[in-house]
């Protein structure tokens, strides 16, 4: 899978994408992640990428032209138009289900907004989908873009050592993940639940499922209700 990030801060995105599991997967050719500097595509000599909003208001708005030209260049490089996602608090909240759907695509591009936003005309022209990572506002779209890139990339074949690395996690099947334990067996008078030491696979799996149900019921009753209705 190929992921292209359109940003004013490619160094920030590149640094993260070289780290840890995602970095190793990219180095091994399991995924491709590229950052593109929108500023490189501005038509004015000052390399300006923003201007004051028409109608007044606080802050600056990113210009349409450099974003459009950057995306055009990305499309030419990829030799196929990718799905373009704009990270914005006004978008639909990102879910694991949408992550799974996006992970099945060959190529996505992610637009990072900045300042007070992006000229609506370029959104209308080239953006396919708007996604939010939560009901809060950040100074730019780079962190949300990296969240999306990470979530999608880790579902690609070969990125994690085993599929169970993500299939048993919170939200993948609609439930929160069960509690996890590791050595030592007893820590500060707290022991690991005996069932996990029993070696009885069926009992362990039943315990994990029951714990997931219970945790979801108390922490995310909305998810619990949805799961129970789906599995009646």
Could you report the per-residue pLDDT of 96-132, keeping only the tens digit for each? 999 999 999 999 999 999 999 999 999 999 999 999 9
In the numeric block, the tokens 């292209």 are attached to 4
**Contact between residue 11 and residue 139 where contact means Cβ atoms under 8 Å apart:** no
Q: Quick one: which of 19, 7, 5, 4 has its CA closest to 140?
A: 7
- What's the confidence (pLDDT) of residue 166? 53
Q: Quick one: which of 70, 50, 44, 54 has its CA closest to 127?
A: 70
**Contact between residue 61 and residue 117 where contact means Cβ atoms under 8 Å apart:** yes
Orientation angle between helical segments 142-153 and 96-103, nearest 10 degrees: 70
Could you report the per-residue pLDDT of 216-225, keeping only the tens digit for each? 999 999 999 9
Which architecture, in CATH terms, is 168-230?
Orthogonal Bundle (1.10)
Which architecture, in CATH terms, is 2-153?
3-Layer(aba) Sandwich (3.40)
Which residues in the chain land under pLDDT 70? Answer: 162-170
- What's the confidence (pLDDT) of residue 173? 83
Q: Where are the domains of the chain?
A: 2-153, 168-230
């Amino acid at each position: 899978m190929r992921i292209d990030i359109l940003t004013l801060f490619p160094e920030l995105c590149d640094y993260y994408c070289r780290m840890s599991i995602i970095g190793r997967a990219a180095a091994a050719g399991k995924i491709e992640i590229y950052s593109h500097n929108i500023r490189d595509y501005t038509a004015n000599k000052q390399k300006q990428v923003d201007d004051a909003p028409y109608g007044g208001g606080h802050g600056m708005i990113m210009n349409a032209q450099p974003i459009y030209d950057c995306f055009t260049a990305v499309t030419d490089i990829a030799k196929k138009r990718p799905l373009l996602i704009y990270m914005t608090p006004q978008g639909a909240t990102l879910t694991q289900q949408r992550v799974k759907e996006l992970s099945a695509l060959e190529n996505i591009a992610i637009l990072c907004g900045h300042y007070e936003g992006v000229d609506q005309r370029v959104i209308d022209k080239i953006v396919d989908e708007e996604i939010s990572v939560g009901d809060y506002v950040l100074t730019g779209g780079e962190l949300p873009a990296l969240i999306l890139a990470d979530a999608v990339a880790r579902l690609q074949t070969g990125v994690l050592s085993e599929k169970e690395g993500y299939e048993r996690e919170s939200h993948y099947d609609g439930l929160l993940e069960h509690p996890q334990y590791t050595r030592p067996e007893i820590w500060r008078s707290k022991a690991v639940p005996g069932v996990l030491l029993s070696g009885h696979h069926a009992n362990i799996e039943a315990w994990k499922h029951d714990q997931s149900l219970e945790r979801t019921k108390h922490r995310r009753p909305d998810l619990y209700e949805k799961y129970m209705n789906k599995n009646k």
